[in-house]
Amino acid sequence: MTSRTEATFFPPIPEAQRWLRGVAFPADRPLINLSQAAPADPPPPAMRAAMAAALEEPSSHLYAPVLGMPALRAALAEEWSRHYGGRVTAEQVGITAGCNQAFAATIAALCGEGDEVILPVPWYFNHKMWLDMAGVSAVPLPCGSDLIPDPEAARALITPRTRAIALVTPNNPCGVEYPGEVLAGFHALCAAAGIRLIVDETYRDFDSRPGAPHGLLTRDGWDEVLVQLYSFSKAYRLTGHRVGAVIGAPDLLHQIEKFQDTVAICAPSFGQKAALWGLEHLSQWKAEQRDEILDRRAAIEEHFGLLAAKGWKLLGCGAYFAYIEHPFAEGSAQLAPRLVREAGVLILPATMFTPKGDPSGDRQFRVAFANTDRAGIRAFAQRLAQVDGPLAAPGGAA
């Protein structure tokens, strides 16, 4: 008998790391690793100093309340209210051990055996993996050429087993920022169908739009439909400290508390203290980090002309990601290891973000550019432009 864990696919990041085995990269041409969407740098010095002081506090080494430190829940509720122009209370905020756990806990609270959750394609691979392991069916929602899901297309996929639609914006893997009216359309659809709208906003702090990206939290009774997920890992470089959040109805958080207590008991107390310090002291620093990421996004767009001349296409770009289409007859899963060997570039094939048999998976790649700089982005474009091979037949691209 095959377990659910055995039945799902292997995590893409460790799988991609295997392609590096036995490959030597000259000192004057090091690997350009654009595979993982996580900050490579530590938190800023001021935060590290505050964390060092927190190490001396006994409570940093003990359990916190299951749904998080009250001060952190209140601070995030205040920040969320201010940013979105709505009203969020501490009772509507739960702190989890990372945003992936926020998603897992939400699904555990909402879904039973054989239930369904609609995921736009391309999807975030960990969302699909958790649904597999939870015995919940991921229902693919294909997107158009703009990579933005359509609420009307989703309407046709809703069945009596549907419990939620899960969106990621700014999107992982595509980088696109979903317009506010699209989110409003999904909210109306979910409200009418009596299901939840899960919006993962891990990359919210790097959205190019000033102000709130949507107005969902300004609606009366917003928590009857909307569940928002957030991560402190990207904004404050706390990846190893595992602090995320779920924002939703108190009765949903009460169910999530069962999951949290069983799996992790609580998010790490030390990481929660660091996240709270960041919320209280790093607003200007966070804004500067956003500007840097937006500049790297601009660099991708500026240097992509070199690749466009070779038949590559830029399909989406934003937050940490670019989503690109290659011109070769070779599928992306076979091409990706060749790019490591021949170009010294590591990017993820779209087969890791699409259902089996989806032809777009063979044509496309995710590029996570947040951990490089303008020089690295220029070198990335130059190296890919030098890659050669038989081209796909006309009309073969997705």
| Distance, CA of 233 to CA of 247 (rounded, Å) | 17
Q: What is the DSSP pairing of strand 116-121 with strand 32-33?
A: unpaired
| Distance, CA of 323 to CA of 341 (rounded, Å) | 21
Residue of 342, 251, 252, 243 lying closest to 19 (CA atoms): 342
Residue written as token pair 């590096």: 20
Q: What is the pLDDT of residue 397?
A: 46
Q: What is the pLDDT of residue 7?
A: 87
Share of the chain above pLDDT 70, in %: 99
Is 174's pLDDT higher than 50?
yes
Q: Which band of pLDDT confidence, cut at 50, 70 and 90, is reported for residue 396? A: low
Q: How far apart are the first and last CA of the chain?
A: 37
3-class DSSP state of 256? helix
Q: What is the pLDDT of residue 135?
A: 96
Q: What is the pLDDT of residue 50?
A: 97
**pTM, 2 dp:** 0.95
Q: What is the pLDDT of residues 31-64, one digit of tens each?
A: 999 998 888 889 999 999 999 999 999 999 999 9
Domains belonging to the chain, first-starting first, are 4-42+285-386 (3.90.1150.10), 45-282 (3.40.640.10)
Q: Which band of pLDDT confidence, cut at 50, 70 and 90, is reported for residue 338? A: very high
40-44, 163-167, 187-191, 343-347: the lowest-pLDDT one: 40-44
Q: What is the pLDDT of residues 274-324, one digit of tens each?
A: 999 999 999 999 999 999 999 999 999 999 999 999 999 999 999 999 999
Q: What is the pLDDT of residue 15?
A: 86
Is 222's pLDDT higher than 70?
yes
Whether the ω angle into residue 250 lies within 30 degrees of 0, i.e. cis, is no
The one-letter code for the residue type at 188 is A
